Structure 1
Amino acid sequence: MTARVRNACAVGALVWTSLAMGRGTPGSGGEKAPVPPLRLPPTVPMRCTELAGLALPASEIGLPTRGAQIDSAAMIAIAAPGNVDGEYCRVVGSIKPLKASAPDIRFELNLPRRWNGRALQFGGGGYSGVVVSGTGTVPFSPDQPPLARGYATFGDDSGHVGNPGLAAFGLVDEAVINFGYAHLKKTHDVALALIARSYGRLPEKMYFAGGSTGGREGYTVIQRFPDDYDGVIANSPALNFSGVRLLGVQVGQAEYRNPGGFIPPALLDLMYRRTLAACDALDGAADGIVSNVAACRALEPQLIQSLRCAPQAQAEDDNCLTDAQLKTLLVLRDGLQLPYPLAWGISRYRGYNVFQGTHFTGMLGLAHSAERLPEPGFFSNGYLYAQGDAYIRYFVTRDDTASSMQFDVQHPGRYLPRLVDLSGTIGAMNPDMSRFIAHGGKLITLQGLADEVISPNQTIAYYRALIARYGDAQVDSFMRLYMVPGFQHGNGVFIPSVDMLGALDDWVTHGLAPQTLVAVDLARATNGRSRPLCRYPAFPRYTGHGNLDRAENFRCVEP
């Protein structure tokens, strides 16, 4: 089975890709269920080319701007090269900032000839800086792109150009506010104004979908603009944006400031293999996936001890980890604990499942080089640290010569007010979702238990905070959380494909709340196998009978 990259949303060095699939290849152990024929909505009257050159006044946008300008509007034919979305009108424009020194918010809007009366806003990735086109599939969903299904789709660049990961736009106040939350409302309002001008009416349903930064944006629109959205898909959400950046700084300091703290990729692989040997079969299936994370965590002390070098071992021993190297891993595992509160009283960032099947050697993993580069790179110096370093220099100190190696995360001194302000501007840790719940909004979140970029335990902690605030019954009435074993940040030994948009629309439109779903694996080595997608805290356990590559031979059980 082949995975085709359709619509990429950058997430730092790697991309959260929108993957679509064909049929299973021999030996894959399973095949994706046939995609039902696409039921197209009827053709509707619409305006397209007349939108070109239109100037929208600032009064039509709910947050302060100098209005919006439509640069082009053109019909895209079904037969256009590379078009998988049917016939649609492509609208390109920009939203003007209050200050001329700030960048525009560039956006694209797609208006299908066959409109189903719904609209879908796409989120960005990493530090954004690239216009999200809104074409192609929702990340990790099957074929049948939303635009082809009749959704009006749109996205933007979050209010700056370029996504090198260095976040230089952090020097511009209006650009930071746009990136944090304002671009979402501004683009939403412009898109709805254009939809109304094209079709003569507003959408019946308004949805949002995104992952990583886009996942944070999904929670942001619920918290800040709850009346604007009927449903949200928010995957692997970077909710505690400041927390993950500050933890990244501490990881980098453990790797490069503490003598011997760097861990060569070969030793990270050793740790991963030892984890699989101890924990793979705890779910009843030796399938390369650590599904029973709770049982694996109980084995963590023994696993760490088995990895620890004997006192007489050499520092370059490739069969064990020194105390300094283990300390680096424990920084990751333990997460961030601050002696001061950030926005919404948050002082923690939960750690990662370091010893429960997370692989840290990929493009978004830990450092591959023992030398810290003057400009830390994702691959050479580790994704978490490189992003944290840029955050300190551009967002916090606003001094690109500042040293993140010397920045005291625990005692930031004169930078404390800036850290608190940033955590409120960009973060999405506000637990108040009452207005979204009150008007019947629905939320679906999917994340990997082996995510190496956004800690799965931070997402779980936020979910538990909602339970504590609203109770199980009310949270069940509006939210679904699916934690996926083996899934990392867009990669992993199990990469799920599931129609979350269909599930969300059925829930919002017909009241059909999703329960256990079936996900098909996109990973190259195991493409086509399937597993139940279990509602948290359940995980898929093998029944002991039947093909390991078929979901029907697993049951969702709680730890």
Structure 2
Amino acid sequence: MMKYSLLFISLLSQISNIALAVSPDSIVERCNALTEMKFDNAKVIKSELIEERFTPLTKLADTLRGAENNVITGLPQFCRVELAIQPEINIEIWLPTQWNHRLQAIGGGGYAGFIPFDELAVAVKDGYATVATDTGHQGNLLEGNFVFKNNQLQADAIADFAYRSVHEMTIKAKQVIENYYGQMPSFSYWNGCSTGGRQGLMEAQKFPADYNGLYITAPAIQWDKFLPSELWPQIVMQEELGQPIDLAKLDKVRQAIINLADEQDGIKDGIIDDPASLEITDEFLKQQGLNNNEIVALRKIWQGPTTQTGQFLWYGIEPTAQMDALAGSTPFPIPVDYLKYWINQNPTVDWKQLGYKGFENYFNDSVHLYRPIIGTDNADLSQFKHLGGKMIIWHGWDDKLIPPKGTIHYYNRVLKIMGGQNDTDEFLKLYMAPGVDHCKGGEGADKINGFQSLVNWVENKQPPTTLTAQKIEKGQITLQRPLCPYPQKTVYKGKGDTNNPTNFECQ
């Protein structure tokens, strides 16, 4: 009888300890205690328990991303941690009380300078411990002057932006997670688009042990080439016409091209599956109201940058992409600041004075100076593969900022170095999304289940075949398509509901 009484008391004690471990007071104490953590080059600035809603500091950069972050609601209970890494790297770590034992790191965009609170919220709602960084500076994601202070280029700021901030963030976040939960994450994932995509690929190339899975969208890789190329449309229009082409004309041309080629895939849906294969005649362009000089300029924009003698430098955006960002009435700010502060180190430089010769020099200087630092184009991913890492990349064919052919170019180099299609398929798959703009938007299906597919691949050893892409408007699925792994294409079988993925096949 005494034996069973002692066992009962022991069980009660264990139950009490478990209850204490998850009691509100205990959670608050554990969260607050994170401020006492010691790091060699970092410090926890603040830790607090958040429930239901959070109001981040509103920053212009977040507004530009389209994030509505005056207040974020519907949040689960989580411990919010502000961490500062020397010299000026700010980190945000969110630790949900109901944790799924995984880490999901969120990438930035443009020149960064902000915390993507809206995307942290999505991850924490799904049970992930999640983390993001401003990459070492605070500011507008379109402004690149953070690397230029006191009339000098700041090498540390460039290194932090290029790779150091993300790696340091990853190491510190895992230490905080272990301290808070008593264990490291079972799996660590990266999720990023544009600059965030580049950050993830840099991790695979430079720090392949940091993440088990990388979800990469429209990556800003080959930074040294594509970034100066974003100024090419303005250079062309300045040299050929003396002024930009009227955007209404460009929109008319784009829509006419889409209408002309729309039904070539057997479906009239306003989406071109492979815009790179289109053949567009001068006569067709004249019918849309372009004169001869405008046709010359537009073809040069589509073709992408060349040397003065016509030799290929880099890719252009596709004819089905919107032209308002790179060929609008004013140039896109990111390459202008890159020219001023990163290349010339002179805020007074006027891009209009470049001409074709000056642009070629600008391009070559960029490759020479920054390919080793931030090119992020190392196609040897053997160490990442050896460690069991998996990666899914997708890019929208109608991306108006980063040429999708650049991502295909990188992927083909990976194929060559990593032993061909079969060997590469073991750890990396690329998908092209018809009609999708930069990261999201466009006429195509831009809600893609790739992240969930990546998790399944990493944890259950089930490589994805197709991904499912949806267009959601006003809460309703208006379009649904499968995406096939490149170089395969998604082909309609010719009958059945075009919103049913089973009515398509990969060829």
How does the TM-score come out when normalised to structure 2? 0.84
Q: Which structure shows the bigger proportion of residues in helix conformation?
A: 2
Candidates 345, 350, 371, aligned match of 1:398:
345
SS of the counterpart of 1:437? Answer: helix
The CA distance in 1 between the partners of 2:230 and 2:119, in whole Å, is: 33
Residue-by-residue CA offset, 1:193-216 (whole Å, 9 max, x unaligned): 111211122212111110011011
Q: Residue 517 in 1 paired to residue 467 in 2?
A: yes
Aligned to 1:466: 414
Q: Paired residue for 1:182, among 164, 167, 172?
A: 164
Distance 1:272 1:233 in 2: 30
Structure 1 residue 392: deviation in Å? 0.5
Counterpart contact for 1:122–1:134, Cα < 8 Å = no
Q: Structure 2: which 5+ runs fail to align?
A: 1-20, 55-70, 149-153
SS at match of 1:555: strand
| Secondary structure of residue in 1 paired with 2:123 | coil
Residues 280 and 452 (structure 1 numbering): CA distance in 2 closer, same or farther, change over 3 Å? same
What's the secondary structure of 2:117's corresponding residue? coil
> In 2 relative to 1, CA 90–353 (structure 1 residues): closer, same or farther, beyond 3 Å?
same
1:366 aligns with 2:327: yes
Residue 326 in structure 1 maps to residue 295 in structure 2: yes
Question: Contact 2:212–2:390 (CA<8 Å) still a contact in 1?
Answer: yes
Equivalent position amino acid for 2:114 in 1: V
Closer, same or farther in 2 for the Cα pair 1:187/1:86, shift >3 Å?
Answer: same
Amino acid at match of 1:326: I
Structure 1 pair 290/425, CA: closer, same or farther in 2 (3 Å)? same
Question: Kindly tell me: are residues 230 and 525 of structure 1, through their superposed partners in 2, closer, same or farther at Cα, counting changes over 3 Å?
Answer: closer
CA, structure 1 residues 416+447, in 2 after alignment: closer, same or farther (shift >3 Å)? closer
Tell me the equivalent position of 2:441. Answer: 491
1:21-68 deviation per Cα after TM superposition (whole angstroms, max 9, x unaligned): xxxxxxxxxxxxxxxxxxxxx97986211112x36433xxxxxxxx11
1:506 counterpart residue number:
456
Q: Look up the match of 1:92.
A: 82
1:519-534 superposed matches below 5 A: 519-522=469-472, 527-534=477-484
Given candidates 136, 146, 149, the residue that maps to 2:126 is 149
| 1:476 CA displacement | 0.3
- Whether 1:349 aligns to 2:314 is yes
For structure 1, the residue ranges without an aligned partner over 5 or more in a row are 1-41, 59-66, 98-103, 138-144, 310-318, 340-346, 370-380
Alignment of 1:238-257 (within 5 A): 238-257=220-239
Amino acid at match of 2:146: F
1:417-436, aligned counterparts within 5 Å? 419-436=367-384
SS in structure 1 of the partner of residue 140 of structure 2: coil
The aligned residue for residue 133 of structure 1 is 117
Provide closer, same or farther for how the CA distance between residues 348 and 390 of structure 1 changes in structure 2, counting only shifts above 3 A. same
Equivalent position of 2:92 in the other structure: 108
Q: Cα 1:134–1:221, aligned 2, differ >3 Å: closer, same or farther?
A: farther
C-alpha contact 2:110 2:141 (8 A) present in aligned 1: no
Aligned to 2:256: 274
The higher radius of gyration belongs to 2
Counterpart of 1:152, as a letter, is: A
Classify 1:84/1:338 alpha carbon distance in 2 versus 1 (closer, same or farther; 3 Å): farther
Q: What SS is found at the alignment partner of 1:84?
A: strand
In 1, the alpha carbon distance for the partners of 2:38 and 2:241 equals 58
Q: 1:163 Cα shift?
A: 1.4
Cα distance, 1:554 vs structure 2: 2.7
- The answer as to whether partners of 1:503 and 1:514 remain within 8 angstroms in 2 is yes
What is the match of residue 549 of structure 1?
Answer: 499
SS at match of 1:412: helix
Kindly report the root-mean-square deviation, in angstroms, between the aligned alpha carbons of the 2 structures.
Answer: 2.6
Counterpart Cα distance in 2 of 1:552 and 1:419: 45
Which residue of structure 2 aligns with residue 169 of structure 1?
146
Provide Cα deviations, 1:109-145, integer angstroms capped at 9, x if missing partner: 01111222211111100111112337456xxxxxxx3
TM-score (norm 1): 0.76
Partner of 2:51: 77
Is the 1:128–1:162 Cα contact (8 Å) retained in structure 2? yes
Q: Give the residue type in structure 1 aligned to 2:47.
A: A
Aligned 8 A contact 2:113 2:139 in 1: yes
Alignment of 1:19-58 (within 5 A): 47-52=30-35, 54=36, 56-58=38-40
Alignment of 1:412 with 2:377, yes or no, is: no
Count how many residue pairs are aligned between Structure 1 and Structure 2: 456
